Amino acid sequence: MASARSNPTQQIADFSEIVTDFDARVQRIGFAIVATVDSNSRPRLRVLQPVWETEADVPVGWLITSEKSPKVRHLRNNPYLSISYWDPAHEMVFVEATAEIVEDPDEKRRVWNLFAAGEGAYGYDPHRFFPDGPTNPDYCCIRVTPSRVELSAMADRAARRPRRIWQPASASALD
């Protein structure tokens, strides 16, 4: 007897097919739960405000934090992270990614300005944390390169519409 799949998926080949929904959700929700792995291989969670842009039709996320934060130590040891967005309407975004600490001062300044230009829950004035600006030695910029993006919603699940999953062509299939 064939069993019905309880949570169907739709593989998305081109991120442009979901970029509008992705942007709308992450900008509306703003805050995300970000998971890293500590030096004892335990998951560690925190609430952050990633900012996203699209480069060559692929999503790229940015985080800014203190160079002394535990998450920076975690990512220097293990560059993988997960990001989860959720809202009360049960619209969700899940991102699996690799993080890279950015050292280039011009890129760090550009990302600083990207955050500072954000509105509402999307971006913020980094001067709150780094009053000296992007040249502050404690200012750390992290590039987030997704290997998987999933958009799902409880309303879609109830209507048996599939979760939408995008992966870059270079990524291997993940569960």
2 has a pLDDT exceeding 80: no
CB 35 within 8 A of CB 43: yes
Domain holding 19, by residue range, is: 9-164
Structural domains in the chain (count): 1
Average pLDDT, rounded, for the chain: 91
47-60 pLDDT, tens per residue? Answer: 999 999 999 889 99
The upper half-sphere exposure of residue 122, i.e. CA atoms within 13 Å in the direction of its Cβ, equals 16
CB 160 within 8 A of CB 7: no
Whether 173 is in a domain gets the answer: no
Distance CA 143, CA 152 (A): 24
CATH code, 67: 2.30.110.10
Task: Give residue 5's pLDDT.
Answer: 52
DSSP state of 125: -
Q: Which residues pair with 10 in a beta bridge?
A: 164
CB 141 within 8 A of CB 64: yes
Whether 117 is in a domain gets the answer: yes
4 has a pLDDT exceeding 60: no
Q: What is the pTM of this model?
A: 0.90
Whether 175 is in a domain gets the answer: no
26-40 pLDDT, tens per residue? Answer: 999 999 999 999 999
Contacts of 58 (CB under 8 A, 6+ apart): 15, 146, 168
Whether 2 is in a domain gets the answer: no
**Segment of 46-50, 114-118, 121-125 carrying the highest mean pLDDT:** 46-50
